[in-house]
Amino acid sequence: MRGRTAVLADPLLDRMLFSPDQILDRVEEVGAAITRDYDGRDLVLLTVLRGGIFFLADLARHIDLPLTMDFMAVSSYAGGGAAVRITKDLDDAIEGRHVLVVEDIIDTGLTLNYLLNVLRQRRPASLEVCTLLDKDARRIADLQVAYRGFRIPDRFVVGYGLDLGGRFRGMPFIATLRDEVMG
C-alpha cells in the first residue's frame, strides 16, 4: 500500500488505525449524508487550520452540492485552559448561511466550544459540526456532533492531517504512536 513503508520504518509509530481506503470509504459515506441533509441550502464548510485541510479537501469532493470553503486558525493561550485566540479569522461573513465546521479531531472539545460560541454570535442560519475523529472519552465541553467519521480510543494519533510537532501530517493513513513516545 502506498505510504505503508513509512509506518514500518518510523520507530515512533505503533500501528495503522485507519488505512487510506477505510478513511476514503467513510468520507464518502459522510459526504453522502451531508449531501442529503444540505440539499437546497447555502453551505459553507469552515475548517480550522492546519490539520483539518486534508479531511476538508476529501470531504468537499464527496459533497454533491454547491458550497464554499473558509478557514480559521487558532492558538491556545499560554498556560492552557479553555481560552483560545483567533490568529486568522474567516474571510467572508457567515450571517444567514448554513455553516458546517469541519475538524480532523475533537479531543477535549474546548477549542471547538470556544469557536462555536464566537461563530454563533455572527448569526449563521445553522451551525453544525463534522469531525473525522472523535476521541470522546476525553471530552470536557458539551458538544453536539452532527457528523462523525470514527470514534477513537484515547491514544495519540497522527497522519491524514494530524501531526506530532509538525511531522506525519502528509501520511495518507492514520496511525497510533508508540506509548513510550508520549511518556
- Under the binding rule (CB under 6 A), the answer on residue 108 touching ligand PRP is yes
Q: By C-beta, is 36 or 88 nearer to ligand PRP? A: 88
Of 30-38, 59-67, 105-113, 118-126, the window that binds ligand PRP (rule: CB under 6 A) is: 105-113
- Under the binding rule (CB under 6 A), the answer on residue 111 touching ligand PRP is yes
Q: Which residues are CB-neighbours of 147 under 8 A, at least 6 positions away?
A: 30, 33, 34, 100, 128, 129, 130, 131
- Under the binding rule (CB under 6 A), the answer on residue 149 touching ligand PRP is no
The one among 13, 59, 101, 105 contacting ligand PRP by CB under 6 A: 105
- Under the binding rule (CB under 6 A), the answer on residue 129 touching ligand PRP is no
- Under the binding rule (CB under 6 A), the answer on residue 156 touching ligand PRP is no
- Under the binding rule (CB under 6 A), the answer on residue 109 touching ligand PRP is yes
Alpha-carbon dihedral 83, 89, 95, 100, rounded to 10 degrees: -80
**φ/ψ bin of 29: left (φ > 0), alpha (ψ from -120 to 50), beta (otherwise):** alpha
The one among 10, 42, 70, 163 contacting ligand PRP by CB under 6 A: 163
Residues 19-58, mask of contacts with ligand PRP (x by CB under 6 A): -----------------------------xxxxx------
Q: Which residues are CB-neighbours of 174 under 8 A, at least 6 positions away?
A: 16, 17, 18, 23, 133, 157, 158, 159, 160, 162
Q: Total number of residues binding ligand PRP (CB under 6 A)? A: 16
Q: Single out the catalytic residue among 89, 107, 134, 163.
A: 107
For this structure, is 107 an active site residue? yes
In angstroms, the Cα distances linking 76 to 84, 110, 111, 135, 137 are: 5, 10, 8, 19, 21
Which positions are annotated as active-site residues? 107
| Residues near ligand PRP, by CB under 6 A | 48-52, 103-112, 163
